């Protein structure tokens, strides 16, 4: 595949997909290029799925501004996209007087920065909101607006919206060479040459390599690995807020949170790594996570661990977003989007569109766009549970742990952005994500996936 476009977005993580969605509102020829076989298959697949308000980002920074705006837009726009969101609030808990003083200072700074709903609460309020945490908490900062969301469906919804409204999506296309060509660029990929007037580098962990292809070297990647534990849904009644430790200047610490899918999530660790493809879960990481559980929510250890996973944050040598417009070079970099990319995605997209449209290229806003919605994967929202299954295939359960039906899998495979791998199908539907991790249903699901993939390709 090749072609000529006004804008080429390199990288279909949650930020790249959000930018593609934003630019689809303009009369521009836009292409979204992804190196892997599926969108959201890099950094975006491994995070804590917490929608931050921005109150725990550096005040006055571009990150704080864009995360705050991203939170505002997500709350307003996610429901129409079918994306579930639940505002459960967060408690940053102090366990001694030294930590209490830090919490009180954090809250004062947070309110001064404009987050006026954030308050300090005492032990009685802490245990009213989180009755199962360990004894001894003395104070906490309560942020009522933080929420939990679906991190897998979010980039898919953004990308589906973008494609429905005119953006081209090209997967399996790592950029191997970038050449200036008059007023634009030639991007060489295994699937052809993409001609673009402007390049937006959203390469995540590969952003510095993409920069180098363009002849730029403004930052060095410093990836950090974060490991997580996912506890069984039987534990869900133990916690109904996001539970955070008091942060240090270098580390926000291991949090514990319910998920939108009905589990309890613990993590992340924070480990500097040299290899950005080192997605291992290690024994030392698991030990650190279990130690945090023992300290903060010991009853959680009575429940089974359903899964472990790892996320890698695409940090750079400076702890800040690296959004660098180069109008004369027809290139815009969106790098260093650390752990707040999910929360800030719509804010980042709005900011980037403002830099591109008008300043780097002309483009009138379209008078209308097609509204796109994806199926909600939140716990308790399966079609057959709510009596909405008009199709008998929505009553045939394929994955009993998560309650996923044959009809849901068929619909996912019929999408304009159909999953090209079994892992992608899992993220689209949650099939095989449950307690047995596919032990019971895996063979049947794989056979169905292969058959539907073959039918689609003929």
Contact (Cβ atoms closer than 8 angstroms) between residue 242 and residue 90: yes
Contact at 8 Å (CB) between 120 and 107? yes
Give the Å distances, CA to CA, from 216 to 180, 210, 316, 380: 13, 9, 15, 48
- pLDDT for the residue numbered 251: 76
For 435, half-sphere exposure in the C-beta direction (CA atoms, 13 angstrom radius) is: 10
DSSP string, 350-381: HHHHHHHBTTTB--PBPS----------STT-
With tokens 């898919």, the residue in question is 156
- pTM of the predicted model, to two decimals? 0.96
Query: Measured between alpha carbons, how far is 340 from 344 in angstroms, rounded to an integer?
Result: 6
pLDDT at 381: 85
CA distance to 82, 121, 248, 415, per residue, from 108 (Å): 36, 13, 17, 48
| Domain 3-46+152-221+317-356 of CATH type 3.30.450.40 | no
Beta carbons of 341 and 4 less than 8 angstroms apart: no
CB 197 within 8 A of CB 361: yes
DSSP string, 212-269: HHHT--S--B--EEEEEEEE-GGGGGG--SEEEEPPPSS----EEEE-TTS-EEEE--
- Coil vs helix vs strand at 85: strand
Query: How is residue 349 written in tokens?
Result: 């997209």
Tell me phi and psi for residue 185, to 5 degrees: -135, 150
Q: Give the model's pLDDT for residue 182.
A: 85
- The secondary element (H helix, E strand) that includes residue 400 is none
Q: What is the DSSP string of 270-290?
A: -EE-S-TT-----HHHHHHHH
Distance set, CA 436 to CA 234, 429, 440, 441 (Å) = 14, 16, 7, 9
Mean pLDDT by 10 residues, the chain (458 residues): 88 98 98 97 94 93 97 98 97 96 96 96 98 98 97 98 98 97 94 97 97 95 96 97 88 93 96 92 97 96 96 93 96 94 98 93 93 94 72 86 93 96 96 94 96 90
Write out the two tokens for 120: 């300090």
What DSSP designation does 174 have? -
DSSP 388: -
**What DSSP character marks residue 352?**
H
Residue 286 CA to residue 201 CA, distance in Å, equals: 34
114 phi and psi angles, rounded to 5 deg: 110, 0
Residues 6+ apart with CB under 8 A from 324: 218, 332, 333, 335
d(CA 363, CA 26): 6
Instruction: Report the pLDDT value the prediction gives residue 359, as an integer from 0 to 100.
Output: 84
* Spatial separation of the C-alpha atoms in residues 68 and 62, rounded to whole Å: 10
Q: 85-147+222-313 is classed in which CATH architecture? A: 2-Layer Sandwich (3.30)
In contact, 57 and 50? CB cutoff 8 Å: no
Look up residue 290 and give its two tokens.
Answer: 């279990």
The residues with which 87 forms a beta bridge, in sequence order, are 147
Host H or E run for residue 275: none
Residue 333, H or E segment: strand 331-335
Do β-strands 305-313 and 224-231 pair in parallel, antiparallel, or remain unpaired? Answer: antiparallel
pLDDT recorded at residue 388 = 62
Element (H, E) at 405: strand 404-405
Per-domain residue ranges of the chain: 3-46+152-221+317-356, 85-147+222-313, 392-457
Picking from 243, 3, 214, the residue whose alpha carbon sits closest to that of residue 130 is 243
Q: Distance between CA 357 and CA 111 in Å, rounded?
A: 34
Alpha carbons 44 and 366: distance in angstroms, whole number = 29
Grouping H, G, I as helix, E, B as strand and the rest as coil, residue 412 is helix
């Amino acid at each position: 595949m090749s072609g000529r476009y006004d804008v080429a977005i390199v990288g279909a993580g949650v930020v790249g997909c959000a930018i593609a969605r934003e630019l689809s509102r303009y009369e521009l020829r836009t292409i979204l290029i992804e190196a892997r076989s599926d969108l959201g298959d890099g950094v975006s697949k491994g995070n804590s799925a917490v929608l931050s308000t921005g109150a725990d980002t550096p005040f006055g920074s571009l990150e704080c501004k864009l995360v705050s705006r991203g939170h505002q837009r997500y709350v307003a726009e996610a429901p129409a996209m079918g994306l579930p969101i639940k505002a459960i609030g967060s408690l940053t808990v102090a366990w001694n007087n030294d930590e209490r003083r830090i919490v009180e200072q954090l809250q004062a700074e947070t309110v001064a920065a404009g987050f006026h709903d954030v308050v300090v609460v005492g032990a009685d309020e802490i245990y009213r909101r989180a009755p199962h945490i360990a004894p001894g908490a003395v104070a906490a900062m309560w942020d009522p607006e933080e929420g939990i969301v679906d991190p897998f469906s979010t980039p898919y919804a953004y990308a589906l919206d973008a494609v429905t409204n005119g953006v081209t999506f090209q997967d399996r296309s790592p950029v191997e060479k970038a050449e200036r060509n008059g007023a634009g660029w030639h991007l060489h990929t295994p699937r052809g040459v993409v001609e673009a007037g402007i390049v937006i580098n959203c390469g995540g962990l590969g952003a510095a390599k993409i920069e180098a292809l363009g002849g730029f070297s403004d930052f060095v990647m410093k990836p950090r690995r974060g490991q997580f534990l996912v506890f069984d849904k039987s534990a869900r009644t133990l916690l109904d807020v996001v539970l955070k430790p008091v942060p240090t200047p270098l580390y926000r610490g291991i949090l514990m949170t319910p998920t939108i899918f009905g589990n309890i999530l613990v993590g992340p660790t924070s480990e500097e790594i040299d290899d950005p493809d080192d997605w291992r879960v290690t024994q030392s990481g698991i030990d650190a996570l279990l130690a945090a559980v023992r300290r903060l929510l010991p009853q959680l250890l009575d429940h089974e661990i359903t899964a472990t996973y790892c996320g890698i944050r695409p940090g750079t040598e400076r702890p800040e977003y690296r959004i660098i417009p180069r109008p004369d070079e027809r290139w815009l970099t969106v790098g260093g989007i650390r752990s707040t990319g999910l929360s800030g995605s719509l804010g980042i997209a709005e900011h980037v569109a403002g830099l591109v449209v008008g300043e780097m290229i002309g483009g009138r806003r379209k008078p209308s766009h097609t509204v796109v919605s994806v199926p909600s994967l939140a716990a308790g929202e399966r079609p057959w549970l709510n009596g909405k299954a008009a199709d008998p295939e929505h009553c045939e359960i394929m994955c009993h742990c998560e309650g996923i039906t044959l009809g849901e899998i068929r619909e996912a495979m019929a999408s304009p952005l159909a999953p090209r791998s079994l892992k992608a199908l899992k993220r689209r539907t949650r099939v095989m994500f449950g307690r047995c991790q596919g032990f019971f249903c895996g063979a049947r699901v794989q056979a169905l996936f292969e058959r539907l993939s073959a039918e689609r390709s003929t």
